[in-house]
Structure 1
């Protein structure tokens, strides 16, 4: 799968102040140290929760020049996993995500705003369901440092919410189900 934008949202967190050197990082999806999790209202009484199991991304992080931060993420939309096989098949169908037409979601950052103390806002463009819309992700730096294998890692979390009708998704699940909440965890390996 070609690397494009979506999971970069979390990577934006890398923009926070730290002692790291300016560097490029690859999101560690192979070691399962990154995740894109979601929740959406179910009938106004609870939430359906899940994740996307396949994505890739990279980010540039320079603690001394946070304006230079950039993030790109690509998500395989068919990798949706709500822990219920029948529901996942339905979500992949043309009734919902229509993965045969819209196989990937992409995120590309456009700006970062430092809020201090390792927190910030990552702005960017998300392409989902064939529509591109601006989004903002609240990011927080978790930490950074050397790993046991001689590498260097940096980690961030992020949260955002998507209004599905903005992306042309008009599922009739009730008004509360128009918003999807994303929780992102990103661990990058310095290149």
Structure 2
């Protein structure tokens, strides 16, 4: 779940924009300008949606060499939030995230491939529930430019799908796909 979150989160690597040199960005979680969301079908009748409220990350990218871009995201699994206290407690339990044993989930990119103007495929190592898998997902640059406070920002979005069973969560939802969505706004350092 968080993986995407993470991975996606910084799809920033993909950017094909107007900066001349590589730059380092911190994901703006302080201003709540980033999110890691997920959704899974509930009994096949509707969507159960949620998010991870506590995560951090950074990315670097160079519009002239986007393939050299990189991102790292860390999610605190205990911050899972579906707007339902009992469900959140269950998701934190050994049936799913086992947050006492696996307090974080991470994504670290290993490559980026340009697929078009402002789009690409981000590949990296996603660790969830103590299991690391290589994932790839499409990313899109939302925009970039100066902010009203004299800073420079860049924003990206990406979505992918994982199966909980691939990450050692083999319970009754193990074969259901979980869609992960990452929306990131980074502040250039």
Settle same-fold status: TM greater than 0.5: yes
Q: Distance in 2 between matches of 1:130 and 1:12?
A: 23
Q: Would the alpha carbon gap of residues 19 and 174 (structure 1) be closer, same or farther in structure 2, given more than 3 Å must change?
A: closer
Contact 2:159 2:179 in 1 (8 A): yes
Q: Kindly report which structure 2 residues correspond to 1:1-20, keeping only aligned pairs within 5 A, or say none.
A: 7-20=6-19
Q: CA deviation at 1:47?
A: 1.3
Secondary structure of 2:136's counterpart equals strand
Q: CA deviation at 1:16?
A: 2.0
Contact 1:10 1:139 in 2 (8 A): no
Q: Kindly report which structure 2 residues correspond to 1:114-153, keeping only aligned pairs within 5 A, or say none.
A: 114-153=114-153
- Aligned equivalent of 1:188: 186
Q: CA deviation at 1:120?
A: 0.4
Residues 143-164 of structure 1: CA distance to partner in whole angstroms, max 9, x if unpaired?
0000011000000000000121
Q: Kindly report which structure 2 residues correspond to 1:1-191, keeping only aligned pairs within 5 A, or say none.
A: 7-20=6-19, 21-173=21-173, 175=175, 178-191=176-189
Q: Distance in 2 between matches of 1:8 and 1:95?
A: 23
Contact 2:13 2:67 in 1 (8 A): no
Q: Distance in 2 between matches of 1:27 and 1:34?
A: 7
Q: Distance in 1 between matches of 2:104 and 2:79?
A: 10
Contact 1:50 1:83 in 2 (8 A): yes
Q: Would the alpha carbon gap of residues 40 and 6 (structure 1) be closer, same or farther in structure 2, given more than 3 Å must change?
A: closer
- Unaligned runs of 5+ residues in structure 2 are none
Q: Distance in 2 between matches of 1:76 and 1:105?
A: 7
- Unaligned runs of 5+ residues in structure 1 are none
Contact 1:8 1:58 in 2 (8 A): no
Q: CA deviation at 1:8?
A: 4.1
Residues 124-145 of structure 1: CA distance to partner in whole angstroms, max 9, x if unpaired?
0000000000101210001000
Contact 2:5 2:180 in 1 (8 A): no
